[in-house]
Amino acid sequence: MSSLDLPFALCAAALVLMIYYVYRRSIRSNLPLPPGPKKLPFIGNIFDLPPESMWETYTAWGRKFNSDIIHVSLAGQSVVVLLSSTATDDLLEKRSAIYSDRPSLPMYVDIIGWDFNIAVMKYGNKWRAHRRLFSQAFNSVESKQFRPKQLAATRRMLGRFVATPNEFREHIRQMAGELIINVAYGIDVLPVDDPFVALAEEGVKAGSDANIPGKFLSRSRSFSSLRRSTICTSPSLFLSSHNL
């Protein structure tokens, strides 16, 4: 090792330790977090989660730690998982007034470009305006106008159940897709293999994949500032509970 290598190595090690110290302080809370698996520095529990059926892993952790609320860390992003209907009702229904904002979803919002989705829109004037418009069109009184459409779509689905009962999952997806597309856009879709329904299902799947914690580096704090214009130019890209 040359005379310059040792100081460089020491400086690099000191820099890594300093970054780790700042990282640990940034995620530290005055209140204790729910129990969860042991976390590795920087990456947290990324390697603990399987790519598919993560709810099974969450459920196993809930049994291991004897808790219906668990915590995992994914590259600096804290994720709290609710594993029971009781915990979900207590936190998201009875205390819903204190949860006014949305989590940061850079993959879903900044890269894919679904910032128009009211479900992930950050709390503010824009969200309130969209919420008000949505409520005006789909409140308990106005939504009654869609009941004939719901009844017709349900009858068509029941007819498909009789014809091909083994394909009941596809029939349910078809009914949901055709009803939503008809109400939102006034389009009468085909009874099978409709391109609009297929496109909607593709978009929902892509959006669900984009929201899987730890699946994309863009969800970590280090990549949260990247914009979709620098990552992807294609506009076509589109809680776990065992007893809910």
Q: What is the CA radius of gyration of the chain?
A: 23
pLDDT at 230: 38
The winner for highest mean pLDDT among 27-41, 181-195, 215-229 is 181-195
Q: At what angle do helices 195-210 and 168-185 cross, to 10 degrees?
A: 100
Note the pLDDT tens digit of each residue in 84-133. 999 988 888 888 777 667 777 777 777 778 888 888 888 889 988 998 99
pTM of the predicted model over 0.75: no
Domain region containing 113: 105-238
**Are both 122 and 77 inside the same structural domain?**
no
Last-in-domain residue among 99, 120, 153: 99
**Position 20 in a domain:** no
**Position 219 in a domain:** yes
Cβ-Cβ contacts under 8 Å for 33 (sequence gap 6 or more): 71, 78, 80
- pLDDT above 60 for 57: yes
Cβ-Cβ contacts under 8 Å for 154 (sequence gap 6 or more): 175
Proportion of the chain in helix, strand, coil states, percent, rounded to 5: 55, 5, 40
Q: Mean pLDDT across the chain, nearest whole number?
A: 78
- Angle (CA) 168-169-173 rounded to 5° is 115
Residue 175's CB is within 10 A of a number of other CB atoms, namely: 20
pLDDT at 48: 87
